[in-house]
């Protein structure tokens, strides 16, 4: 699966992913009103609003980008109806040729972890039929429970040609509380990184592994060191833009081949029309604002990796 992502990154020249993390406050009034008219001010109405909002952004940006990363929490907050909108979004993105990274941060043990892996990436058997529950292409996974939590995902990656991104060093201010703790002079996130490399050897797909990792753009020094420590691991990089990660820092996350990292932006893209810079589009043309924000992000990142092989 990672080779599919790389091909799409090369085809679009865009090592970026758009985070489809809809909140009602990002959604233009006219979309909300229309959803209330058909579904009422209900969970189903909210689900309709976020789906229509997503669809506009997907239609306006799908030719520019390799992948999207819907954050399932933003859908789960609206209950079962929200989760249905998540699934609708996943399916629509795939119909538009986009790869889908399910930002689900699941993690459990044994048969439970297997159920998550099956539900999000694999297939489940019902009687004499098999079905894919959510059918993302990649999922993010939490490593706190150790190999028991990861192995079932590796099995599904191998069986169904899928991929995972394991949390190594997250972008948030308090990520260091546990992740930076020193163990014989080595921080925990490095131990996790070494395990990610070990797990990744079981699922190589060309020069890179189907087992990637997450390292926040807000910790560029750590990104630089980890990039060297795990040369065959793709890095999913959150924290660019709204969270404070700067383009000039992103160069450290790429390998000399111009590959090895994919940078996420969520509200910087999907709520672009609410920024002063893109205000001229107006809420009616929020999706055009998102398209312009994607173009600007690609240019910003290309600027940072100039001098390395163009992606």
Of 48 and 205, the one with the shorter C-beta distance to a copy of itself is: 48
Number of residues that bind a copy of itself (CB under 8 A): 73
Q: Decide: is 107 part of the binding site for a copy of itself (CB under 8 A).
A: yes
Q: State both tokens at 81.
A: 């109806």
The two beta strands, 129-131 and 124-126, are antiparallel
Rounded Cα gap, residues 165 and 31, in angstroms:
33
Q: Decide: is 244 part of the binding site for a copy of itself (CB under 8 A).
A: no
Q: Decide: is 295 part of the binding site for a copy of itself (CB under 8 A).
A: no
The torsion angle over the Cα atoms of residues 225, 229, 233 and 237, rounded to 10 degrees, is -10
Rounded Cα gap, residues 226 and 238, in angstroms:
15
Spatial contact of 210 and 157, defined as CB atoms under 8 Å apart: yes
Which residue in the set 54, 100, 106, 247 belongs to the binding site for a copy of itself (CB under 8 A)?
106
Spatial contact of 283 and 31, defined as CB atoms under 8 Å apart: no
Q: Which of 87, 105, 151, 224 is catalytic?
A: 105
Q: Based on the residue annotation, tell me whether 105 is a catalytic residue of this protein.
A: yes
Q: Decide: is 307 part of the binding site for a copy of itself (CB under 8 A).
A: no
Q: Decide: is 258 part of the binding site for a copy of itself (CB under 8 A).
A: no
* Residues 34-73 within binding reach of a copy of itself (CB under 8 A): 36, 41-43, 45-46, 71, 73
Which residue in the set 84, 160, 197, 204 belongs to the binding site for a copy of itself (CB under 8 A)?
84
* Residues 160-189 within binding reach of a copy of itself (CB under 8 A): 167, 170-179, 181-184, 188
Task: Tell me the helix, strand and coil percentages in the chain, rounded to 5.
Answer: 55, 20, 30
């Amino acid at each position: 699966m990672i080779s599919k992502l790389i091909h799409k990154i090369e085809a679009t020249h865009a090592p970026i992913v758009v985070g489809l993390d809809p909140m009602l406050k990002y959604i233009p009034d006219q979309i909300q009103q229309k959803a209330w008219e058909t579904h009422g001010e209900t969970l189903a109405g909210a689900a309709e609003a976020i789906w229509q909002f997503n669809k506009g952004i997907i239609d306006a940006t799908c030719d520019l980008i390799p992948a999207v990363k819907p954050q399932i929490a933003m859908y789960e907050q609206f209950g079962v109806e929200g989760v249905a909108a998540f699934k609708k979004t996943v399916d629509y993105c795939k119909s538009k040729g986009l790869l889908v990274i399910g930002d689900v941060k699941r993690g459990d043990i044994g048969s439970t972890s297997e159920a998550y892996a099956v539900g999000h990436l694999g297939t489940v058997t019902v009687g004499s039929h098999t079905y894919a529950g959510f059918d993302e292409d990649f999922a993010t996974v939490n490593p706190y429970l150790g190999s028991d939590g990861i192995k079932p995902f590796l099995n599904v990656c191998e069986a169904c040609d899928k991929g995972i991104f394991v949390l190594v060093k997250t972008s948030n201010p308090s990520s260091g509380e546990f992740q930076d703790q020193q163990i014989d002079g080595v921080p925990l996130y490095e131990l996790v990184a070494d395990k990610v490399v070990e797990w990744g050897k079981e699922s190589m797909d060309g020069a890179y592994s189907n087992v990637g990792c997450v390292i926040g753009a807000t910790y560029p020094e750590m990104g630089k060191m980890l990039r060297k420590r795990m040369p065959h691991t793709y890095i999913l990089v959150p924290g660019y833009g709204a969270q404070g990660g700067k383009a000039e820092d992103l160069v450290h996350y790429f390998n000399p081949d111009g590959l090895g990292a994919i940078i996420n932006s969520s509200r910087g893209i999907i709520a672009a029309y609410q920024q002063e810079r893109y205000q001229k589009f107006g809420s009616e043309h929020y999706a055009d604002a998102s398209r312009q924000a994607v173009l600007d992000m690609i240019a910003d990142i290309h600027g940072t990796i100039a001098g390395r092989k163009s992606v």
